[in-house]
Amino acid sequence: MRLHNLVTRWLDGCRCLAAYDKIPGYRQLPWLERKCLECHAATMLLRSPWFWRGLFWVGVANVAMQSLAWHLDLVGAARDLLRALPLLLAFPWLASARRVRIQALLRNRDAAHRQVDRDM
């Protein structure tokens, strides 16, 4: 993946974080149905190999940041920020993946094949 694509997707994820409920058709659903949709999207994400690959690399980056904080003998806020940096950088990608999954679930929910009675 090119660096340009990586940065573009990360910035798209930042926009998703700012407007997490601005998905067409999402706010019109009742609260319980929205939460069921969220849980279904989360389970879809957990079954994705991309999630586990990303989690592995966040873990590797976290170990590197822990080692760097120990090597530089950082204390206080600088150490905490350095240790939290991999997770903070991963949140926009998670928000983007969540948005894509919810949009797919809403499209599938509203698709014509789901609303036609079949006589078998």
What is 55-113 written as a DSSP string? HHHHHHHHHHHHHHHHHTT--THHHHHHHHHHHHHHHHHHHHHHHHHHHHHHHHHHSGG
Lowest-pLDDT choice from 1-5, 19-23, 30-34, 116-120 = 116-120
In sign, the C-alpha dihedral spanning 21, 25, 29, 34 is negative
Is residue 82 domain-resident?
yes
Q: Is residue 119 part of a domain?
A: no
Confidence of residue 118 (pLDDT cuts 50, 70, 90): low
Domain presence at residue 31: yes
Considering the domain boundaries, does residue 83 fall inside one? yes
Cα separations in angstroms, 78 against 60, 72, 91, 98: 19, 10, 20, 30
Residue 40 pLDDT class (50, 70, 90 cuts): very high
Q: Is the pLDDT of residue 115 over 60?
A: no
pTM over 0.95: no
Lowest-pLDDT range, 4-8, 30-34, 84-88, 99-103? 4-8
Residue 17 resides in a domain: no
pLDDT at 22: 85
Q: Region 28-57: what's the mean pLDDT?
A: 92
Whether 1 is covered by a domain: the verdict is no
- 4 belongs to a structural domain: no
Domain housing 35: 24-102
Tokens of 28: 């019109």
Between 60 and 115, where is the model more confident?
60
Q: Is residue 115 part of a domain?
A: no
Total tally of structural domains belonging to the chain: 1
Average pLDDT, the chain: 87
Average the pLDDT over 85-91 and give the result: 91
